[in-house]
A and B are shown apart, each in its own frame.
Chain A
Amino acid sequence: DAKTTQPNSMESNEEEPVHLPCNHSTISGTDYIHWYRQLPSQGPEYVIHGLTSNVNNRMASLAIAEDRKSSTLILHRATLRDAAVYYCILRVIIQGAQKLVFGQGTRLTINP
């Protein structure tokens, strides 16, 4: 099964950049890398996704290693509202169907 490995928790300070790592050594050529985050008492929300190239959007940046076996979600300037569990997820194709395979995520704490 395609799976990802993330640190259980990370801590950072407000207004500083945060780099959240993810390993996905079993990734295949067609698997997209997705990041979602889950704030307390809410459902997960989409952050960013990519396949091979680095990606930027208004929420974050995604840096993908050249061999695609790892990636890093970058929050350029963390705020207290960024405290959440961040999931690095592979979107895989299984028997023709697309699925998101969730890992345990990284709990990010932001200190004021």
Chain B
Amino acid sequence: DADVTQTPRNRITKTGKRIMLECSQTKGHDRMYWYRQDPGLGLRLIYYSFDVKDINKGEISDGYSVSRQAQAKFSLSLESAIPNQTALYFCATSDSRGAGNTIYFGEGSWLTVV
């Protein structure tokens, strides 16, 4: 079983709809992240959370919101989806106690906005 699980893995939604991507982890890490990857590009940070009460914007937070429901759960919401939010989304975790702060990624969620 994956340590970082994302649901759904694939979703097609219509412009203007609200969509939530969920992430759960069994690694016991305190830090969680949401990244976005567009075809042929690297990953860009949307939001990150260093613990349940600490949520921060990343490079491209406009149009997104997040909720850290518990240490193990971090969800990403698109309140009103638009086509240019079509991308591959990755959740990730890291342990602040670990040297070097290695980040562990989920398998990704493909989101298509039509």
| A residues adjacent to B (C-beta < 8 A) | 32, 34, 36, 41-46, 49, 87, 91, 97-100, 102-105
| Chain B contact residues: helix, strand, loop or mixed | strand
The answer to whether B105 and A99 touch across the interface, beta carbons within 8 angstroms, is no
Pairs across A and B, CB under 8 Å, 5 listed: A43-B90, A45-B105, A97-B48, A102-B44, A104-B41
Interface flags, B27-54, vs A, CB<8A=1, else 0: 0000000010000111111001010000
Closest to A103 in B: B42
Interface size grouping (class) on chain B: 20 to 34
| B residues adjacent to A (C-beta < 8 A) | 4, 35, 40-45, 48, 50, 56, 58, 90, 92, 100-108
- Known contacts: A42-B108, A43-B92, A43-B106. The answer to whether A87 contacts B42 by CB under 8 A is yes
Of A45, A87, A91, A104, the contact of B101 (CB 8 Å cutoff): A91
Of B35, B48, B50, B103, the contact of A46 (CB 8 Å cutoff): B103
Measured between beta carbons, the chain B residues less than 8 angstroms from A43 are 4, 90, 92, 105-108
Q: How far is the CB of B8 from chain A (nearest CB, A)?
A: 15
A105 to B39, CA, bound (A): 12
The answer to whether A102 and B102 touch across the interface, beta carbons within 8 angstroms, is no
Q: How far is the CB of B102 from chain A (nearest CB, A)?
A: 5
